[in-house]
Structures are given as structure tokens and as C-alpha cells.
Amino acid sequence: MKKIISLFMLFVLCFVLVGCDDSGVIPYNYNSAEVRQKIDELGDNEGYLIEYTMIYNDDMRMIDDHDDYDDDFGPMIITIGYKNSITYFSMGFVEVYIDYSDYNKIVLYAGLQNDSTSTKEWKKQELSYSDYYSSDIYDSYLEIYDFLIPSRAFNEGDVIKKKLDVVALRTCDKLTIQDRNYGGLMDVYIDKELGICLKMVKNEQSKEGIYSESGMECTRFETNPVIILPNI
């Protein structure tokens, strides 16, 4: 009898440790303003460099042409970083450095891969702050920055499952969010310390029964990085 009770208690303990799926909406306080402040403080103090790899499976590529994938080079890598008044971001063959150290102007460094020569061609440009904030480069930066703060997922959906997980060696809340309007599901991984989104995966199945998985995952999280302006 004692052996049976011990086995039962062991089963219960394993069930608790692994976790069970909660039903219904789970309260989750996500304050995007606080997260933004933590990101800014990390950048001003140690600095950071965060790299994301875009995710999608082969079934999706069979029915759609995705810009996030190149048959020769694999999935797109997106990187964003900040240190010593320098913002860095890259998407595919494009690299950008933005130097904020001069309060009167912004110095922009943009590098584009030349397919014919397999080299990166750099251009340097000085902009006023107003010109920069109305530029396409700034719009592109905001799109990447939105990866860090997934406000839309929380504004349009409800958390229905919550577990602990690890992404890029950092402890995260793994949240399954259900869209209030369309019922779709998305797994969002939120860094416990900073509130940054380190992974976001949307699972879908078409009417034809084709399964697809899309999103992004942090594959590199570095503090106190080396970010040096191009020598041009």
C-alpha cells in the first residue's frame, strides 16, 4: 500500500512540475511602456545586441513565396542593437548604423550587399533629427523594434495558457494567445526579466489541410556588445 501511495505521489509531483494547461482566460499584466523603459535602460547602461531568425516550415513555402527565405542562404536573420549612442540593425543584405552622439544631427551609415561583386557598399549621410524621423530607414527600424514589444498580440488576444520555457538561455513566460476575433493561436515567449519578446510563433492550418508555422525566434542575446561604426 505504501508503495502504491508513493507511486501516486510521484505521479502527482511530476504532473505539477511539468504543468497542466489552464482553461479560460489567464490574467497577464503586460505593460509596453515599462518594457520600453527597461529596453532603453539596458541600452544606455550595458547595451544590447539581439538577433532573431525568422521561422516557417516547408509546407508554407510550397503554397506561398516568402521574402523571409532565400534558397541559397536560408531564413532571414534580423538583428537590433544599441550601445554608446549608436543604434544598429540589419535585415538580410542591409546593415544600418545610426549615430546619435551629436545632438544637432544624426549620422547614418547604410550598407547594401552588391550581388554582382559580393561586397557591401556603404554610404554615409548626415540628417537633421526631423528628416531622420520622417525617413524610410526610421520606419524600417520601428518595424524591427516592434519585435521586442509585441503589444498587438496582447491588444487583440487573450492568454489562455502559460508555462515557463527557455529561449537563448533566458527564462521566459511561454504564453499561448488566442485571437478574440478570429480564434487563431500564437505562442509568445516573454523574457521574465526585461519583458522583451524572444520568440513568437503562429500555427495555422489551411482549408486544404496544409499546416504552416511562422514567426521569429531569438538565437542570440548579448549584453555589453561591441558596436563600432564603419570606417568610411
Residue with the bigger pLDDT between 12 and 87: it is: 87
Which pLDDT tens digit goes with each residue over 89-111? Answer: 998 889 999 999 999 999 999 99
- Count of helices and strands (H, E) across the chain: 6, 13
SS3 207: coil
pLDDT at 74: 64
The whole-number average pLDDT for the span 37-66 is 78
Domains of the chain and any CATH numbers: 22-223 (2.50.20)
CB atoms near residue 220 (< 10 Å): 14
- Amino acid identity, residue 68? D
Distance between CA atoms of residues 190 and 187, nearest Å: 10
Which pLDDT tens digit goes with each residue over 201-224? Answer: 987 665 555 556 789 999 999 999
What is the rounded end-to-end Cα distance, in angstroms, of the chain? 79
Secondary structure (DSSP) of 91-151: ETTEEEEEE--STT-EEEEEEEEETTTTEEEEEEEEE-HHHHHTSHHHHHHHHHHTTT--H
pTM, rounded to two decimals: 0.78
Residue 116 CB contacts under 8 Å (≥ 6 apart), including other chains:
none
pLDDT at 114: 77
Distance between CA atoms of residues 61 and 66, nearest Å: 7
Residue 138 CB contacts under 8 Å (≥ 6 apart), including other chains:
132
